[in-house]
Amino acid sequence: MAKGDNIVRLVHMGKTFHTDSGDVKALDDINLDIKEGSIQGIIGLSGAGKSTLVRCINYLEVPTSGQVLFEGQSLGDMTDAEVREARKKMGMIFQQFNLLDQRNLLKNVTFPLEISGISGKIAKDRAMELLRLVGLEDRVKNYPAQLSGGQKQRVAIARALATNPKVLLCDEATSALDPKTTAQILDLLKKINKELGVTVIVITHQMSVIEAICDSVAIIDHSHIAESGPVSEIFANPKTDIGRKLILGNGDINETPITFGDSTKKKIRIVFDGLSAYKPVISEMTLACKVPVNILFANTREVEGKAVGQMVVELPDDHTEADQITGYLRDNEITFEEVR
Ligand SMILES: Nc1ncnc2c1ncn2[C@@H]1O[C@H](COP(=O)(O)OP(=O)(O)OP(=O)(O)O)[C@@H](O)[C@H]1O
Ligand SMILES: [Mg+2]
Protein backbone atom coordinates (compact mmCIF):
# COMPACT_ATOMS: atom_id res chain seq x y z
CA MET A 1 0.00 0.00 0.00
CA ALA A 2 1.48 3.35 -1.06
CA LYS A 3 1.10 6.80 0.41
CA GLY A 4 -2.08 8.26 -1.01
CA ASP A 5 -3.96 4.94 -1.23
CA ASN A 6 -6.94 4.55 1.06
CA ILE A 7 -5.74 2.70 4.13
CA VAL A 8 -9.19 2.76 5.74
CA ARG A 9 -12.49 2.83 3.88
CA LEU A 10 -15.88 3.01 5.49
CA VAL A 11 -18.55 1.92 3.05
CA HIS A 12 -22.23 2.48 3.89
CA MET A 13 -21.30 1.70 7.45
CA GLY A 14 -23.97 1.79 10.14
CA LYS A 15 -24.18 0.88 13.80
CA THR A 16 -27.36 0.42 15.78
CA PHE A 17 -27.22 -0.45 19.46
CA HIS A 18 -30.05 -2.61 20.73
CA THR A 19 -30.86 -1.57 24.28
CA ASP A 20 -33.61 -2.37 26.77
CA SER A 21 -35.18 0.99 26.08
CA GLY A 22 -35.09 0.53 22.31
CA ASP A 23 -32.70 0.81 19.40
CA VAL A 24 -30.12 3.59 19.22
CA LYS A 25 -28.88 4.35 15.73
CA ALA A 26 -25.39 5.67 16.50
CA LEU A 27 -24.16 5.67 12.89
CA ASP A 28 -26.02 5.62 9.61
CA ASP A 29 -24.63 5.21 6.08
CA ILE A 30 -21.12 6.43 6.84
CA ASN A 31 -18.87 6.68 3.76
CA LEU A 32 -15.33 7.85 4.31
CA ASP A 33 -11.98 7.16 2.65
CA ILE A 34 -8.87 7.80 4.71
CA LYS A 35 -5.61 8.17 2.84
CA GLU A 36 -2.44 6.40 3.94
CA GLY A 37 -0.07 8.90 5.53
CA SER A 38 -2.73 11.56 6.14
CA ILE A 39 -4.05 13.12 9.33
CA GLN A 40 -7.81 12.72 9.18
CA GLY A 41 -10.02 14.65 11.57
CA ILE A 42 -13.50 13.63 12.64
CA ILE A 43 -15.41 16.34 14.43
CA GLY A 44 -18.89 16.58 15.87
CA LEU A 45 -20.89 17.54 18.91
CA SER A 46 -21.31 15.25 21.91
CA GLY A 47 -23.35 12.17 21.06
CA ALA A 48 -22.86 12.59 17.30
CA GLY A 49 -21.33 9.13 17.04
CA LYS A 50 -17.58 9.89 16.92
CA SER A 51 -16.39 7.32 19.46
CA THR A 52 -18.64 4.68 17.95
CA LEU A 53 -17.16 5.45 14.55
CA VAL A 54 -13.58 5.12 15.73
CA ARG A 55 -14.37 1.89 17.60
CA CYS A 56 -15.92 0.49 14.42
CA ILE A 57 -12.71 1.24 12.48
CA ASN A 58 -10.77 -1.29 14.58
CA TYR A 59 -13.78 -3.53 15.16
CA LEU A 60 -13.94 -2.99 18.91
CA GLU A 61 -17.54 -2.41 17.84
CA VAL A 62 -18.84 -4.51 14.99
CA PRO A 63 -20.90 -2.41 12.58
CA THR A 64 -24.45 -3.58 12.02
CA SER A 65 -24.39 -2.66 8.33
CA GLY A 66 -21.91 -1.82 5.59
CA GLN A 67 -18.20 -2.49 5.59
CA VAL A 68 -14.90 -1.42 7.08
CA LEU A 69 -11.95 -1.99 4.76
CA PHE A 70 -8.43 -1.91 6.19
CA GLU A 71 -5.70 -2.00 3.57
CA GLY A 72 -8.34 -3.08 1.08
CA GLN A 73 -9.54 -6.06 3.16
CA SER A 74 -12.99 -6.19 4.72
CA LEU A 75 -12.76 -6.71 8.47
CA GLY A 76 -16.20 -8.34 8.31
CA ASP A 77 -14.78 -11.12 6.11
CA MET A 78 -11.89 -11.89 8.45
CA THR A 79 -11.62 -14.58 11.09
CA ASP A 80 -11.30 -13.43 14.71
CA ALA A 81 -7.56 -14.08 14.58
CA GLU A 82 -7.22 -11.97 11.43
CA VAL A 83 -9.22 -9.15 13.02
CA ARG A 84 -6.85 -9.22 16.00
CA GLU A 85 -3.87 -9.01 13.64
CA ALA A 86 -5.46 -6.07 11.81
CA ARG A 87 -6.18 -4.40 15.16
CA LYS A 88 -2.50 -4.57 16.07
CA LYS A 89 -1.86 -2.35 13.09
CA MET A 90 -4.23 0.24 14.57
CA GLY A 91 -2.98 1.80 17.80
CA MET A 92 -5.46 3.74 19.92
CA ILE A 93 -5.27 6.51 22.52
CA PHE A 94 -8.02 7.99 24.67
CA GLN A 95 -8.98 11.10 26.60
CA GLN A 96 -8.32 9.37 29.94
CA PHE A 97 -4.99 7.80 28.86
CA ASN A 98 -5.96 4.33 30.21
CA LEU A 99 -2.49 3.52 31.53
CA LEU A 100 -1.76 0.56 33.78
CA ASP A 101 -1.24 2.15 37.21
CA GLN A 102 0.62 -0.82 38.68
CA ARG A 103 3.26 -0.79 35.98
CA ASN A 104 6.07 1.69 35.45
CA LEU A 105 6.39 3.54 32.15
CA LEU A 106 8.70 1.00 30.58
CA LYS A 107 6.34 -1.83 31.51
CA ASN A 108 3.34 0.11 30.24
CA VAL A 109 4.96 0.36 26.82
CA THR A 110 6.18 -3.26 26.73
CA PHE A 111 2.68 -4.49 27.67
CA PRO A 112 1.24 -4.75 24.13
CA LEU A 113 4.48 -6.40 23.01
CA GLU A 114 4.19 -9.03 25.75
CA ILE A 115 0.66 -9.76 24.58
CA SER A 116 2.04 -10.29 21.07
CA GLY A 117 4.63 -12.72 22.44
CA ILE A 118 7.57 -10.31 22.35
CA SER A 119 9.46 -9.95 25.61
CA GLY A 120 12.96 -9.53 27.03
CA LYS A 121 15.54 -7.27 25.46
CA ILE A 122 13.73 -6.79 22.17
CA ALA A 123 10.63 -5.48 23.95
CA LYS A 124 12.70 -3.33 26.29
CA ASP A 125 14.73 -1.79 23.46
CA ARG A 126 11.60 -1.04 21.48
CA ALA A 127 9.95 0.57 24.53
CA MET A 128 13.04 2.66 25.25
CA GLU A 129 13.15 3.83 21.64
CA LEU A 130 9.50 4.91 21.84
CA LEU A 131 9.87 6.58 25.23
CA ARG A 132 12.76 8.55 23.74
CA LEU A 133 10.56 9.49 20.76
CA VAL A 134 7.94 10.94 23.10
CA GLY A 135 10.56 12.65 25.29
CA LEU A 136 10.25 10.54 28.46
CA GLU A 137 13.43 8.47 28.36
CA ASP A 138 14.50 9.80 31.77
CA ARG A 139 11.22 8.77 33.46
CA VAL A 140 11.04 5.10 32.50
CA LYS A 141 10.98 3.85 36.09
CA ASN A 142 8.21 6.24 37.13
CA TYR A 143 4.61 5.16 37.60
CA PRO A 144 1.66 6.84 35.88
CA ALA A 145 0.57 8.53 39.14
CA GLN A 146 3.86 10.46 39.11
CA LEU A 147 3.16 12.09 35.75
CA SER A 148 1.25 15.11 34.48
CA GLY A 149 -1.65 14.63 32.06
CA GLY A 150 0.48 15.56 29.06
CA GLN A 151 3.19 13.09 30.12
CA LYS A 152 0.60 10.36 30.63
CA GLN A 153 -0.67 10.93 27.12
CA ARG A 154 2.91 10.65 25.81
CA VAL A 155 3.21 7.25 27.47
CA ALA A 156 -0.12 6.23 25.96
CA ILE A 157 1.17 7.30 22.54
CA ALA A 158 4.40 5.33 23.02
CA ARG A 159 2.39 2.30 24.09
CA ALA A 160 0.03 2.63 21.12
CA LEU A 161 3.04 2.69 18.77
CA ALA A 162 4.74 -0.36 20.33
CA THR A 163 3.39 -2.85 17.80
CA ASN A 164 4.40 -0.62 14.88
CA PRO A 165 0.86 0.27 13.83
CA LYS A 166 0.08 1.86 10.49
CA VAL A 167 -2.80 3.84 11.94
CA LEU A 168 -3.12 5.72 15.22
CA LEU A 169 -6.70 6.29 16.39
CA CYS A 170 -7.03 9.20 18.82
CA ASP A 171 -10.37 9.59 20.60
CA GLU A 172 -10.43 13.05 22.21
CA ALA A 173 -6.75 12.58 23.05
CA THR A 174 -6.26 16.19 24.07
CA SER A 175 -9.64 16.96 25.63
CA ALA A 176 -8.36 16.57 29.20
CA LEU A 177 -5.32 18.79 28.61
CA ASP A 178 -4.72 22.53 28.88
CA PRO A 179 -4.11 24.49 25.64
CA LYS A 180 -0.32 24.52 25.91
CA THR A 181 -0.07 20.79 26.60
CA THR A 182 -2.63 20.18 23.85
CA ALA A 183 -0.38 21.99 21.39
CA GLN A 184 2.61 19.87 22.46
CA ILE A 185 0.72 16.61 22.07
CA LEU A 186 -0.60 17.71 18.67
CA ASP A 187 2.97 18.51 17.62
CA LEU A 188 3.99 15.03 18.71
CA LEU A 189 1.20 13.46 16.66
CA LYS A 190 2.30 15.49 13.67
CA LYS A 191 5.88 14.33 14.15
CA ILE A 192 4.76 10.70 14.36
CA ASN A 193 2.80 11.18 11.15
CA LYS A 194 5.68 12.82 9.30
CA GLU A 195 8.61 10.78 10.63
CA LEU A 196 7.05 7.35 10.99
CA GLY A 197 4.46 7.72 8.22
CA VAL A 198 1.68 6.66 10.58
CA THR A 199 -1.80 7.61 9.43
CA VAL A 200 -3.45 9.53 12.28
CA ILE A 201 -7.21 9.64 12.83
CA VAL A 202 -8.18 12.38 15.24
CA ILE A 203 -11.59 12.45 16.91
CA THR A 204 -12.38 15.77 18.51
CA HIS A 205 -15.10 18.29 19.29
CA GLN A 206 -12.63 21.16 18.97
CA MET A 207 -12.17 22.89 15.63
CA SER A 208 -8.82 24.20 16.82
CA VAL A 209 -7.46 20.64 16.92
CA ILE A 210 -8.55 20.02 13.33
CA GLU A 211 -7.10 23.35 12.27
CA ALA A 212 -3.77 22.58 13.96
CA ILE A 213 -2.89 19.24 12.42
CA CYS A 214 -5.46 17.69 10.07
CA ASP A 215 -5.27 17.43 6.29
CA SER A 216 -8.86 16.26 5.88
CA VAL A 217 -11.93 16.51 8.05
CA ALA A 218 -15.29 14.78 8.27
CA ILE A 219 -18.04 16.56 10.17
CA ILE A 220 -20.36 14.11 11.85
CA ASP A 221 -23.79 15.15 13.00
CA HIS A 222 -26.60 13.01 14.38
CA SER A 223 -25.05 9.74 13.17
CA HIS A 224 -24.36 11.02 9.64
CA ILE A 225 -21.41 12.60 7.88
CA ALA A 226 -22.68 16.09 7.13
CA GLU A 227 -19.70 17.01 4.97
CA SER A 228 -16.10 15.97 4.47
CA GLY A 229 -13.04 16.97 2.48
CA PRO A 230 -9.72 18.81 2.72
CA VAL A 231 -9.57 21.05 5.80
CA SER A 232 -8.82 24.14 3.71
CA GLU A 233 -11.93 23.61 1.56
CA ILE A 234 -14.30 22.78 4.40
CA PHE A 235 -13.05 25.69 6.52
CA ALA A 236 -13.23 28.10 3.62
CA ASN A 237 -16.72 27.16 2.60
CA PRO A 238 -18.69 25.05 5.04
CA LYS A 239 -21.84 23.97 3.25
CA THR A 240 -23.96 22.62 6.08
CA ASP A 241 -25.47 24.29 9.14
CA ILE A 242 -23.41 22.11 11.48
CA GLY A 243 -20.25 22.91 9.50
CA ARG A 244 -20.88 26.63 9.79
CA LYS A 245 -21.71 26.29 13.46
CA LEU A 246 -18.50 24.40 14.25
CA ILE A 247 -16.25 26.52 12.07
CA LEU A 248 -17.74 29.94 12.67
CA GLY A 249 -18.37 29.23 16.32
CA ASN A 250 -21.57 30.67 17.71
CA GLY A 251 -21.75 33.00 14.73
CA ASP A 252 -23.83 30.64 12.66
CA ILE A 253 -24.70 32.49 9.46
CA ASN A 254 -28.39 31.84 9.95
CA GLU A 255 -28.59 32.08 13.68
CA THR A 256 -26.51 34.96 14.97
CA PRO A 257 -28.95 37.17 16.80
CA ILE A 258 -28.07 40.79 16.16
CA THR A 259 -29.44 42.29 19.32
CA PHE A 260 -26.88 45.06 19.49
CA GLY A 261 -26.44 48.19 17.43
CA ASP A 262 -29.17 50.64 16.50
CA SER A 263 -32.29 48.65 15.61
CA THR A 264 -33.41 51.27 13.08
CA LYS A 265 -30.21 51.02 11.07
CA LYS A 266 -29.56 48.73 8.16
CA LYS A 267 -26.98 46.03 8.75
CA ILE A 268 -25.16 43.66 6.47
CA ARG A 269 -23.32 40.45 7.14
CA ILE A 270 -20.10 40.11 5.17
CA VAL A 271 -19.04 36.54 4.61
CA PHE A 272 -15.35 35.81 4.22
CA ASP A 273 -15.45 32.56 2.34
CA GLY A 274 -11.72 32.20 1.86
CA LEU A 275 -12.04 33.33 -1.74
CA SER A 276 -11.63 36.98 -0.90
CA ALA A 277 -7.87 37.22 -0.41
CA TYR A 278 -6.58 37.90 3.07
CA LYS A 279 -6.54 41.65 3.08
CA PRO A 280 -8.12 44.24 5.26
CA VAL A 281 -11.39 44.38 3.36
CA ILE A 282 -13.04 46.76 5.78
CA SER A 283 -10.28 49.36 5.84
CA GLU A 284 -9.93 49.25 2.06
CA MET A 285 -13.68 49.59 1.74
CA THR A 286 -13.86 52.62 4.02
CA LEU A 287 -10.90 54.20 2.23
CA ALA A 288 -12.40 53.55 -1.20
CA CYS A 289 -15.90 54.76 -0.23
CA LYS A 290 -14.73 57.40 2.25
CA VAL A 291 -17.59 56.32 4.47
CA PRO A 292 -17.07 54.97 8.00
CA VAL A 293 -18.89 51.79 9.00
CA ASN A 294 -19.61 50.50 12.45
CA ILE A 295 -18.52 46.90 13.04
CA LEU A 296 -21.02 45.18 15.33
CA PHE A 297 -19.75 41.65 15.29
CA ALA A 298 -16.78 39.85 13.85
CA ASN A 299 -15.76 36.24 13.87
CA THR A 300 -13.01 35.72 11.36
CA ARG A 301 -9.95 33.57 11.30
CA GLU A 302 -7.15 32.88 8.90
CA VAL A 303 -6.94 29.53 7.20
CA GLU A 304 -3.91 29.03 4.97
CA GLY A 305 -3.58 32.77 4.41
CA LYS A 306 -7.25 33.26 3.56
CA ALA A 307 -9.91 34.96 5.59
CA VAL A 308 -12.78 32.77 6.76
CA GLY A 309 -15.68 33.89 8.88
CA GLN A 310 -18.16 36.69 9.02
CA MET A 311 -18.57 40.24 10.11
CA VAL A 312 -21.70 42.27 10.73
CA VAL A 313 -21.50 45.99 9.99
CA GLU A 314 -24.00 48.79 10.37
CA LEU A 315 -24.56 50.82 7.20
CA PRO A 316 -24.75 54.64 7.20
CA ASP A 317 -28.24 56.24 7.24
CA ASP A 318 -27.49 58.06 4.05
CA HIS A 319 -28.74 55.88 1.17
CA THR A 320 -26.06 57.03 -1.26
CA GLU A 321 -23.34 56.20 1.22
CA ALA A 322 -24.90 52.84 2.00
CA ASP A 323 -25.15 52.04 -1.72
CA GLN A 324 -21.50 52.95 -2.13
CA ILE A 325 -20.56 50.34 0.42
CA THR A 326 -22.70 47.56 -1.00
CA GLY A 327 -21.50 48.53 -4.50
CA TYR A 328 -17.88 48.21 -3.36
CA LEU A 329 -18.54 44.75 -1.94
CA ARG A 330 -20.29 43.61 -5.12
CA ASP A 331 -17.48 44.98 -7.33
CA ASN A 332 -14.94 43.10 -5.26
CA GLU A 333 -17.03 39.92 -5.29
CA ILE A 334 -17.27 39.82 -1.53
CA THR A 335 -20.31 37.88 -0.35
CA PHE A 336 -22.74 39.76 1.87
CA GLU A 337 -26.36 39.71 2.86
CA GLU A 338 -28.72 42.07 4.58
CA VAL A 339 -29.52 41.33 8.21
CA ARG A 340 -32.91 42.19 9.60
N1 LIG B 1 -22.82 0.65 24.02
C2 LIG B 1 -23.82 1.48 23.72
N3 LIG B 1 -25.09 1.12 23.91
C4 LIG B 1 -26.11 1.95 23.58
N5 LIG B 1 -25.96 3.15 23.03
C6 LIG B 1 -24.71 3.59 22.82
C7 LIG B 1 -23.57 2.78 23.14
N8 LIG B 1 -22.46 3.47 22.80
C9 LIG B 1 -22.88 4.64 22.31
N10 LIG B 1 -24.24 4.71 22.30
C11 LIG B 1 -25.05 5.83 21.81
O12 LIG B 1 -24.62 6.15 20.49
C13 LIG B 1 -24.66 7.55 20.30
C14 LIG B 1 -23.28 8.04 19.88
O15 LIG B 1 -22.38 7.89 20.96
P16 LIG B 1 -20.84 8.19 20.85
O17 LIG B 1 -20.21 7.79 22.13
O18 LIG B 1 -20.32 7.56 19.60
O19 LIG B 1 -20.84 9.78 20.68
P20 LIG B 1 -19.64 10.81 20.65
O21 LIG B 1 -19.79 11.61 19.42
O22 LIG B 1 -18.35 10.09 20.85
O23 LIG B 1 -19.93 11.74 21.91
P24 LIG B 1 -18.91 12.47 22.94
O25 LIG B 1 -18.38 13.69 22.21
O26 LIG B 1 -19.80 12.86 24.08
O27 LIG B 1 -17.85 11.50 23.31
C28 LIG B 1 -25.15 8.15 21.60
O29 LIG B 1 -26.52 8.37 21.48
C30 LIG B 1 -24.85 7.08 22.62
O31 LIG B 1 -25.74 7.13 23.69
MG1 LIG C 1 -16.88 10.11 22.33
Provide the pLDDT confidence category of residue 306 given band limits of 50, 70 and 90: low
Q: How large a percentage of the chain has pLDDT more than 70?
A: 90
Q: Across residues 83-108, what is the average pLDDT?
A: 95
Pick the residue whose CA is nearest to atom 24 on ligand 1. Answer: 46
- 284 and 222 in a single domain? The answer is no
Residue 60 beta carbon below 6 angstroms from any ligand 1 atom: no
The SS3 of residue 236 is helix
Q: Which ligand is nearest to the CA of 53?
A: 1
Pick the residue whose CA is nearest to atom 13 on ligand 1. Answer: 26
Q: How large a percentage of the chain has pLDDT more than 90?
A: 67
pLDDT tens digit string along 109-162?
Answer: 999 999 999 999 999 999 999 999 999 999 999 999 999 999 999 999 999 999
The SS3 of residue 237 is coil
Q: Which ligand is nearest to the CA of 26?
A: 1
Alpha-carbon distance of 170 to 261, in angstroms, equals 44
- Of the ranges 48-57, 82-91, 323-332, which one carries the lowest mean pLDDT score? 323-332
- 65 and 174 in a single domain? The answer is yes
Residue 50 beta carbon below 6 angstroms from any ligand 1 atom: yes
Can you give the residue range of the structural domain that contains 316?
267-339
- Which residues on adjacent β-strands are paired with residue 199? 167
Pick the residue whose CA is nearest to atom 25 on ligand 1. Answer: 46
- 271 and 244 in a single domain? The answer is no
Atom number of ligand 1 nearest to Cα 223: 14
Ligand 2 center from residue 4 Cα (angstroms): 28
C-beta of residue 277 within 8 angstroms of C-beta of residue 331: no
Strand ranges for the chain from DSSP E: 6-19, 22-35, 39-43, 65-70, 73-74, 90-94, 167-171, 199-204, 216-221, 224-230, 267-277, 294-303, 306-314, 335-339
Q: What is the DSSP letter of 221?
A: E
pLDDT confidence of residue 203: 97
Assessment of whether the complete model's pTM goes beyond 0.85: no
Strands ordered across the beta sheet of 39-43: 90-94, 167-171, 199-204, 39-43, 216-221, 224-230
Q: Across residues 208-213, what is the average pLDDT?
A: 93
pLDDT confidence of residue 104: 97
Q: For a ligand 1 pocket test, name from 18, 23, 52 the mutation site with the most ligand atoms within 8 angstroms of its C-beta.
A: 52
**Among residues 6, 9, 7, 10, which one has the least CA distance to residue 223?**
10
- 232 and 273 in a single domain? The answer is no
pLDDT at residue 246 greater than cutoff 90: no
- 330 and 272 in a single domain? The answer is yes
Alpha-carbon distance of 225 to 19, in angstroms, equals 24
Ligand 1 center from residue 205 Cα (angstroms): 14
- 209 and 243 in a single domain? The answer is yes
Structural domain contains residue 22? yes
Q: Which amino acid is at 238?
A: P
User: What is the pLDDT of the chain when averaged over all its residues?
Assistant: 89
Structural domain contains residue 63? yes
Residue 46 beta carbon below 6 angstroms from any ligand 1 atom: yes
Residues with CB under 5 A from ligand 2 (ion): 51
pLDDT at residue 294 greater than cutoff 60: yes
Structural domain contains residue 144? no
Between the two ends of the chain, the Cα-to-Cα distance in Å is 54
Alpha-carbon distance of 5 to 128, in angstroms, equals 32
Q: For a ligand 1 pocket test, name from 51, 170, 220 the mutation site with the most ligand atoms within 8 angstroms of its C-beta.
A: 51
Domain count within the chain: 2
The SS3 of residue 235 is helix
Q: Which ligand is nearest to the CA of 19?
A: 1
C-beta of residue 42 within 8 angstroms of C-beta of residue 220: yes
Pick the residue whose CA is nearest to atom 2 on ligand 1. Answer: 17
Alpha-carbon distance of 241 to 252, in angstroms, equals 7
Structural domain contains residue 153? no
pLDDT tens digit string along 180-193?
Answer: 999 999 999 999 99
pLDDT tens digit string along 12-45?
Answer: 999 999 999 999 999 999 999 999 999 999 999 9
Atom number of ligand 1 nearest to Cα 203: 22
- Of the ranges 75-79, 187-191, 292-296, which one carries the lowest mean pLDDT score? 292-296
Ligand 2 center from residue 24 Cα (angstroms): 15
The SS3 of residue 262 is coil
- Of the ranges 56-65, 266-275, 276-285, which one carries the lowest mean pLDDT score? 276-285
Q: Is 99 exposed, middle or buried (0-12, 13-18, 19+ CB in 10 A)?
A: buried
Please compute Rg for the chain using Cα positions.
Answer: 24
- 32 and 78 in a single domain? The answer is yes
Q: Could you tell me how many helices (H) and strands (E) the chain has, helices first?
A: 11, 14
What CATH number does residue 14 fall under? 3.40.50.300
